[in-house]
Structure 1
C-alpha cells in the first residue's frame, strides 16, 4: 500500500484537516469545481442529493456537518488506490453532544492532476449508523 498515491495523500490531508477542525485547510484541498457527497444521495445535509459543489457550498457543508461535532475519527481498515481515486473501507466515528455514532461504509476521494480533490463521496447508510448511537 503506497502512501504516495495522489488520491491517498489528498484523503489523508482531508482527514487530518477534519481532525484538527481546520476548515480553511480542508476547503483549500478541493478543486474549484470539487464536490462533496456525504452521504451519497438525498440526506439531512443534502435533501436534493446533488452534493455540495464549489468552495462556498463545501464550506457550508463544513458548517452544517463538521463544525457541529466534538470530534471525528477515521477508523479505516484498508484503502485501495486506482487511477486517480482511493477508496477507504471502515467507519467514521463522530462524537457530538455527548453521543457517539459510527458510520460504516466506503469513502472515496478522486483527485485532479494537481492532487486537488475533485470528489469526496461517502457511501454509508443513515439508518444503519443510527443503530450505533451510544453515550460518549
Structure 2
C-alpha cells in the first residue's frame, strides 16, 4: 500500500475519535458504510447498519467524554489496528481507564474510505469490577447507563450487550501466553502443541506463515497487553525488532488456539 493510501486510511480512522470528542453524532455514524457494523466489546451482539450504530452512539458515546490515548497504529491492506488506552468520563465522579485494542476494517466507495467494521477488544468484566470499585459514587453513572441501554436498545439490546461478559477466550489467555513465550524463544515444537489440528497462522488476515517465520518476527518479544474478548485473545507485543499486535482465536474448553493472525508494526 502506498504512503498516500496509508495516510488516507489513518485520516479516516482518526475522524472517529474526533467526532466522538465533538459529540458529533451524524459525523460519527456517517463514517460507516451502509452495511457497517460495530462490535464493542467483541463478544457482545454487533450493531449493524446506521440505525443500530446510531443507537450504539446514543447509548455509549454521546453521553460521555471519551479520550483516546494512542500507543500504536498499524496499517495493513485496508485494516488499521490501534493499541490504546480509553479514558471514559462516566460522570462527574467516575472516570474509567480501559486498556483496549481497536480494529478498523475499511472499504473504498466512490473515492471515499468508509468504516466497514469496528471491533473493540477490551474486557467487560474487568471494566465492571473497576467501575463498581468506585462504590456509591458509581451509582448515578450506573443508573444512567442502565436507562440508556433500556431506552435506546430495549431488553434484547441490553441482553446483547451483556453477552460480552461471556468470554470463551478467557480460558485461552494462559495458553496464548505460553504459545508466545515458545515462539519468542524459537521453540516451534512447544508452540505447535498449543495449536488445534488445522490451525492457521497468518501475517495480517491472509498471508500464510509457518511457526518458524512467526518466530523470526517475534524473537524475544514480550506481551505488553493481553485482552480476552469474545473468542479472541488480542495481544500487544514488543521486541527489540518491532511492535505488533497478535489476534489468537481459541476453541474448546481448554483454550486451544485455532487461528493466529499477526499484524507487525513498522
Between Structure 1 and Structure 2, whose CA radius of gyration is higher?
2
Q: Structure 2: give runs of 5+ residues left out of the alignment.
A: 138-266
Assess, with a 3 A threshold, how the Cα gap between structure 1 residues 3 and 66 changes in structure 2: closer, same or farther: farther
- Which consecutive segments of 4 or more residues in structure 1 shift more than 3 A? 130-135
Is residue 23 from structure 1 mapped to residue 25 from structure 2 by the alignment? yes
Partner of 2:97: 102
Query: Aligned partners of 1:7 and 1:106: how far apart in 2?
Result: 17
Question: Is this contact kept in 2: 1:33–1:53, CA < 8 A?
Answer: yes
Partner of 1:46: none
Structure 1 residue 4 displacement after superposition: 5.6
Q: How many residues are aligned here?
A: 126
For residue 51 of structure 2, give the secondary structure of its aligned residue in structure 1: helix
For residue 113 of structure 2, give the secondary structure of its aligned residue in structure 1: coil
For residue 125 of structure 2, give the secondary structure of its aligned residue in structure 1: helix
Question: Is this contact kept in 2: 1:35–1:118, CA < 8 A?
Answer: yes
Partner of 1:54: 49
- Structure scoring higher RCO (CA < 8 A, sep ≥ 6) equals 1
Question: Is this contact kept in 1: 2:20–2:62, CA < 8 A?
Answer: no
More helix by share: 2
Q: Structure 1: give runs of 5+ residues left out of the alignment.
A: 43-48
Q: Deviations over 1:61-109 (max 9, x none)?
A: 001111221x100011011010101010021110022211112121011
Could you tell me which of 110, 123, 146 is aligned with 1:125?
123
TM-score between both structures, scaled by the size of structure 1: 0.84
